[in-house]
Amino acid sequence: MKLLIIGGVAGGASAAARARRLSEDAQIVLVERSGDVSFANCGLPYYLGGEITERGKLLLVTPERMRARFNLDVRTRCEVQSIDRVARKVRIRDLASAREYEETYDKLILAPGAAPLRPPIPGVDLPGIFTLRNLQDADHIKARLDQGVRQAVVVGAGFIGLEMVENLVRHGISTTLVELQDQVLLPLDREMTAPVAKCLAAEGVKLLLGESAAAFEPTSDGLTVCLKSGGRLAAQLVILGVGVKPENKLAVDAGLAIGARGGIRVNEYLETSDPDIYAVGDAIEVVDFVTGQPAQVPLAGPANRQGRIAADNCFGRTVRYRGTQGTAVVGVFGRTAAITGASEKTLRRLQRPFRMVYVHPTQHAGYYPGAEALTLKLLFDPQSGRILGAQAVGGAGVDKRIDVLAVAIQAGMTVFDLEEMELAYAPQYGSAKDPINMAGFVAANLLRGDHPQADVAAVVAAPAEQRPFLLDVRTPSEFTAGNIPGAVNIPVDELRSRLGELPRDREIAIYCQVGQRGYLATRILCQAGFAAVNLGGGYKTYQLLAAGTNGG
């Protein structure tokens, strides 16, 4: 068996190592266009920021080590030019010598990844404007930084854009982040990104939402970024982080099936439309685990796992890829934002029924030093309670909760399972009622009808005459410090003696700070015969939803 793999980083290197473990006899050829295999592209921003000091640490495995340990035929600086499916051979160009030659295969795995988008903006090819994909890109950016950069512009507020912003600020560079949409971190729902936008502002980052780069012009000092709104930004360095496109040229030229967004189409065994060719990683179209829709999800975890699965299937095993649920996390200036499964906006776009709850607990027992608030948003099926997605933002503990919920989604669990979930607890790690349990309690109470809830956004957006009676059950000082316009304040501890002040002919929407006192108040009013609902997540959720767009 001769296995040929195109692309030697996340998906390709995983496939090669797995293939060797499955067969000592197979001939395995790994062809990689750059000079490196299996390098840590996820670490590049931190190398540029100086957190990772040694470049060599990013090279997880060298070509020599891959040859020695896995007995692989590794060919770096070699690019596959074309695939001849009938003859089962590829044409390879040795980039150092420009020599071209052919190589046959029995099975082929495509792992060419995705290339950063370089939008056709006037001046986009000027010196000082970079994308970041590999070590060579990092070397070029580092050389520019070493020349002395005072001002930088990052275009695109996705995961890589945000990581670059943090690492440029670490160098003391005055940094502006330009984003076309009205929020950072597009996969998340907008209100969940408000704390990230706020912390960018606190760190002195100028965040321009709803803005885009229209042109780049050279200056004696570097560049001017001309904004669509007419503004102009001086910079000595520009990083473009506006997304990636699947490297599908080989597949297109070879006549393989391609998805609507350019990803190579594969079946659940990662087989392309040619049964001798598999494809993995950023280059493929996957099925969204929750929605069942085709999706492009460029993440390292899926690419690595797909590489293993494709190798298994090449060697006669029958292993299914379950789909991708888009579990992702990013850290910015000590804040963490993470997501798994479907977002609210995705569910709305697909017109899929859902309910959602917000909880705002601390990551561990509040009395233990170092407790930090986190916000967790949970989306679930209104009938079965099956978990559809989750997002969290805060400090410590965000990653752990999203990982737990990622597993819960994979296991097909419901909000009722979250109530029962037994998680490790000591005061410095969690709470006896972990934020996961809390989200489960709130969601399960909602579905059981014990805790009628309304979405803050829907109530606030309703025309004044259709709005319910708004009741704030916090203390007078909390109320004075900020409240939802139109609300009446009766603290929860006085509620039982002041029922006469409440209308019986209108729905009453109750809120407190995070939802807990509101829940108790809802129970008191419901049992007293009022039509009462609690505003999920309370005033804190209202504040998230109301946060301004520019750094609000």
Residues involved in catalysis: 42
Closer CB to ligand FAD, 32 or 419, in the complex: 32
Among residues 11 and 551, whose Cβ is nearest to ligand FAD?
11
Compute the least distance from the CB of residue 300 to ligand FAD, in Å: 4
What are 118-122's contacts with CB under 8 Å, separation 24+?
A: 118/240, 119/240, 119/242, 121/213, 121/214, 121/215, 121/216, 122/214, 122/215, 122/216
Residue nearest to ligand FAD (CB): 281
Please state the closest distance from residue 83 (CB atom) to ligand FAD, in A.
9
Residues that bind ligand FAD (CB under 6 A): 6-7, 9-12, 31-34, 41-42, 44-45, 79-80, 111-113, 132-134, 160, 247, 250, 281-283, 298-301, 303
- Nearest distance in Å: CB 152, ligand FAD: 16
* CA gap 50, 373 in Å, rounded: 29
Identify the DSSP state of 88: T
Structural contact between residues 10 and 304, judged by C-beta atoms closer than 8 angstroms: yes
Beta-bridge mates of residue 242: none
Give whichever of 103 and 417 is closer to ligand FAD, judged by the CB atom: 103
474 within 8 A of 487, measured Cβ to Cβ: no
For residues 44 and 196, which CB has a smaller minimum distance to ligand FAD in the complex? 44
Q: Rank residues 67 and 448 by Cβ distance to ligand FAD and give the closer one.
A: 67
How many degrees, rounded to 5, is the angle at CA 349 between CA 347 and CA 353? 40
CA distance 465 to 462: 8
Round to whole Å and give the CA distance between 535 and 433: 21
C-alpha 365/C-alpha 491 separation (Å) is 25
Q: Are 390 and 377 in contact (CB under 8 A)?
A: yes
C-beta of 80 vs 392, nearer to ligand FAD: 80
Query: Which SS3 state, helix, strand or coil, does residue 544 take?
Result: helix
The residue among 132 and 185 lying less far from ligand FAD, judged by its C-beta, is 132
User: CA-CA distance, 156 to 180, in Å (whole number)?
Assistant: 7
Residue 552 CB, nearest approach to ligand FAD (Å): 26
Q: Return the number of the residue (82 or 549) whose C-beta is nearest ligand FAD.
A: 82
Minimum gap (Å) between residue 110 Cβ and ligand FAD? 8
- Minimum CB distance to ligand FAD, residue 338 (Å): 11
Q: What angle do CA 128, 131, 132 make, to 5 degrees?
A: 120
Q: Minimum Å distance from CB 137 to ligand FAD? A: 8
Q: What are phi and psi of 216, to 5 degrees?
A: -120, 135
| Chain centroid, CA 528 distance in Å | 45
402 is written with which tokens?
């999203």
**Nearer to ligand FAD among residue 240 and residue 470 (C-beta):** 240
DSSP string, 431-456: -SS-HHHHHHHHHHHHHHTSS-EE-H
**In whole angstroms, how close is the CB of 273 to ligand FAD at the nearest point?**
19
Compute the least distance from the CB of residue 133 to ligand FAD, in Å. Answer: 5
What is d(CA 552, CA 546) in angstroms, rounded to the nearest whole number?
9
Note whether 49 and 167 are within 8 A (CB): yes
DSSP per residue over 197-257, as a string?
HHHHHHTT-EEEET--EEEEEEETTEEEEEETTS-EEEESEEEE-S-EEE--HHHHHTT--
In angstroms, the CA 311 to CA 317 distance is 9
